[in-house]
Chains A and B, each alone.
Chain A
Amino acid sequence: MSDSKNAGHDHDHDAIGHVTPPGLLLLVGGTLLFLTAVTVWVTMADLGRTGNLIVAMVIATIKATMVCTYFMHLKWDKPFNAVVFASSILFVSLFITIALLDKSDYEGDIQEMNLLEGK
């Protein structure tokens, strides 16, 4: 698919915005299904605790990016919408990172009590 604004303009129409050609839809859909199979399959391999998690997340992110770019038209959309979306993800990550940073630091105090109180 070309990057140009006219990617889908092989049809005769005057719709606002971009019209996605059916071939592309099916291609993306097929790839997504394929990646789903891949991620299930790859879990069976032992890549270590983090290894498997990273692989699974990378595949999920590829899938998510495809959904955003093609199904959600971000590729042909005003870039601002992508900015909105990206910033929401940025803030969620900040939230998770900082909360996790703190929680993992004091988790020891919780374990200490579990130990002492024989829970």
Chain B
Amino acid sequence: MAAPSATVDDNFLTHEKGILSWLCTLDHKRIGLMYLICVLSAFLLGGSAAMLIRAELWTPGPTLIDHQTYNQAFTLHGAVMVFLVIIPGIPAALGNVVLPLMLGAKDVAFPRLNLASWYLWVIGALCLITSLITNCADTGWTFYTPYSTTTTTSVIPALFGAFILGFSSIFTGLNFLTTLHKLRPAGMTWFRMPLFLWAIYATGIMQILATPVLGITLLMLIVERAVGIGIFDPALGGDPVLFQHFFWFYSHPAVYIMIVPAFGVVSEIFPVFSRKRIFGYKFIALSSVAIAVLGFLVWGHHMFTSGQSIVAGTVFSGITFLIAIPTAIKAFNWIATMYKGAVHLDTPMLYALAFLWVFSIGGVTGMFLSVMSTDVHLHDTYFVVAHFHYVMMGGAITALMGGIHYWWPKMTGRMYPEKLGRIGAVIVLFGLNLTFLPQFVMGSRGMPRRYYNYLEEFQPMHQLSSLGAFTMGLGFLLVAYYLLRSLKTGPKAPDNPWGGNTLEWQTTSPPAYYNFHTPPVITEGPYEYADWTYDAKVGGYVRISKQAKS
């Protein structure tokens, strides 16, 4: 590595130059940014597939593409969005950038492993793309056997890609868990940790305990498809429902892997933009852990009509209900945080508010699905599609957007245009509801999912939904446009534009190569705002010196 230069303007972006200095970097911030770029590109790919889906569904019969292409499009869409976008989205991209900063550490525990995770992501993504350009898999992102072992499309590259991505996720989780345990500086006690870190902690637990099972499941499926070992093949005495157990043992915890970091992001945004301590810190922190643990025991709620036994169904359904409680606790605490606060409605806060509302809709519709008798009617209809888009698009992606805006000044050293930011947020939110609300209605009226052709009765709602999707697409294009532009033309960001008291705001924007010029001293909780005051000259908040205060 080149000798570091010690100019005043030295930061992690300018510390070293050239593409190789990025591709070989061990700096968590750079790795985080590389993740962010990749994840957003994948989001564009997945989003384009979504636009194709919505365009096709404009009319009941063939509109634009044929059966097979449609099936491939939603498989690609689902797999890309899940494995490439939201699982790494918040933890690996935003988490990498800010986790050591928030903790006051110099880096993550295993910087090389961190870089390796990113490369695994890239390899996994390339595998998925291989599948796409050879003969895209058409199995749905759930890869149910025996369809996935008998279809003629190239499923193995897709499976292998997801397998690799699983390891990328495992290593990220492992790295973060270790960092949170072992690299906490003096003074950073567990209950002084920002809630984002608690969320990452809970996510890490799930990544470590659930993702390996995805690995082995996909591996068995690959072997099954390649040489026919028959563990899941009824013709050889195997059992396809067993595959579903295996798959959901991972994939239900995975939905919390997606959402818990999102909880973390909004738990940061709410107090900062209300200028008030977070309400119920311990409850929010520990409820993440409760969700993580309970989340392992509910996987069978995806299988109520699969021929699963009634006993198992009852257990799964009951525990599913319990999970609503820690989630509800969080929602109520966020609202209570705003009570008597001083609320600033900047873009990150708009996304956080949107998150709270939209995620609640997604969450409560989860209740319809976790009730065994209503799920019989709703399973595999558009009601489920609407549910999970409300929680994943409306929840996780909205929080990701909020987080991107919140930390944009820190990550890039530039401010994004505030007015465009708010307009973008509103368009996306509007489009989102227009897309997915009609899907609830058609779903409960009996419109099955993964349908290329549908009955004419459903056309009006499909068209509303498509209109919404295009609106949302435009909204995201606007967001992408101003964010990219701000990289060049955005005003230079102050160190602490929002007045956060977590440690990442106590270093420069963008941070130095080693994060802190002077190691931070931690003497108080992360949500104390009394010491910060707005300084119009700086354009951000500055600490009130001790003398001035007394």
Contacts and interface: CB of A to CB of B under 8 A. Distances in A.
B315 interface: yes
A109 B308 CA distance: 11
Contact of A106 (B213, B241, B296): B241
B239 A98 contact: no
A14 B312 CA distance: 54
B239 A94 contact: no
A88 B315 CA distance: 21
Contacts of B245: 99, 102-103
Contacts of A103: 239, 241-242, 245
Given A88-B209, A91-B296, A99 B242 contact: yes
Main secondary structure of the interface of A (DSSP, over half): helix
Contacts of B312: 98, 101-102, 105
A109 B245 CA distance: 17
Interface string B373-397: 0000000000000000000000000
Contacts of A102: 245, 300, 308-309, 311-312
Interface residues of A, number: 15
B308 A95 contact: no
Contacts of B309: 101-102, 105-106
Contacts, number: 43
Contacts of A41: none
A110 interface: yes
B299 to A, nearest CB: 8
Nearest to B313: A102
B384 to A, nearest CB: 21
A103 B309 CA distance: 8
A28 B83 CA distance: 44
Query: 8 tightest CB-CB pairs across the interface, nearest first?
Result: A105-B309, A102-B312, A99-B245, A91-B209, A102-B309, A106-B309, A102-B308, A95-B249
Interface of A: 80, 87-88, 91, 94-95, 98-99, 101-103, 105-106, 109-110
13 contacts: A88-B209, A91-B296, A95-B213, A95-B249, A98-B297, A98-B312, A99-B242, A99-B249, A101-B311, A102-B308, A105-B310, A105-B311, A110-B239
